[in-house]
Amino acid sequence: MTRRESKIIKNLHLPILIFVIVCLSQFVYLNSLSNQFVYDDEFTIVTNYFIKTWNNLPLLFSKDYFRYSGELSYRPVVTLSYFIDYSLWKLNPFGFHLTNTLLHTLNSVLLFFLLKRIFNCRTTSFITTLIFSCHPVLTEAVNAVSYREDLLAAIFFIAAFLLYVKTSKDERSFSPAYFASVGCYLLGIFSKEMAITLPLLIFLYDLVFTKVQILSNKFTR
């Protein structure tokens, strides 16, 4: 990218950048809205009576969850999203796929704000987010409704990380953002177990960026 192109992005208003991210993340998966249910969607949604009545909602928090949900691990946030989708769309696959694309878009926007917060560079954050939005590695997670756990886990993972980096060390004992970060972390774990790795990422972040800040202060004296 040339210096002139970088300057153009830098001078664009933030809402315009967000609008571009939203449009691209939706456009690349626009054709998925006409798809039918695929893969594990059959037994997690189509033939799954569990999600078809709100009377079963309390079972999300009981040992019977594994018997009725169609999940092999405890992911109540994902199953709750199926409850909501079914109440809105019944078995119309369009609605379920629309939810997936919207979750992907939310991930893209959150990633942009996270990168912008960490690196304090609008251009780098914007270009990286555009690559993320249309990268083919996400195809399966977005196109298959029953792989929604990856999208939901990523949302709460990124949100928890973003809320964490927005609070200073002095604020982390009482800041509402810090407690919101912990809440997002728990929701991420209950979406997919891989979210448990967040503390390791936070540790590395604190380790690396604390040293960078110390070196920066040293050379600016």
Residue 6, pLDDT above cutoff 60: no
Residue 136 in tokens: 């083919």
Mean pLDDT value across residues 178-203: 94
Residue 170, pLDDT above cutoff 70: no
Domain membership of residue 149 (yes or no) is yes
Residue 26's CB is within 10 A of a number of other CB atoms, namely 17
Q: How confident is the model at residue 53 (pLDDT cuts 50, 70, 90)?
A: very high
State the amino acid at position 127 in one-letter form: I
Decide: helix, strand or coil at residue 21: helix
Domain membership of residue 113 (yes or no) is yes
Domain membership of residue 180 (yes or no) is yes
Residue 220, pLDDT above cutoff 80: no
Q: Which residues contact 190 (CB under 8 A, 6 or more apart)?
A: 74, 75, 76, 77
Domain membership of residue 11 (yes or no) is yes
**What does pTM read for this prediction?**
0.88
The total of structural domains in the chain comes to 1
Closest CA to 156 of 196, 209, 112: 196
Q: What is the DSSP letter of 72?
A: S
Containing structural domain, residue 62: 3-194
Domain membership of residue 221 (yes or no) is no
Domain membership of residue 111 (yes or no) is yes
Mind listing the pLDDT tens digit for each residue in 113-151?
999 998 888 888 999 999 999 999 999 999 999 999 999
Asked if 60 and 82 count as a contact pair (C-beta separation under 8 A), the reply is: no
Residue 87's CB is within 10 A of a number of other CB atoms, namely 12
pLDDT at 149: 95
pLDDT at 40: 85
Q: Which residues contact 53 (CB under 8 A, 6 or more apart)?
A: none
CA dihedral 141, 142, 148, 150 (to 10 degrees): 40
Domain membership of residue 26 (yes or no) is yes
Residue 7, pLDDT above cutoff 60: no
Mean pLDDT value across residues 175-184: 90
Domain membership of residue 212 (yes or no) is no
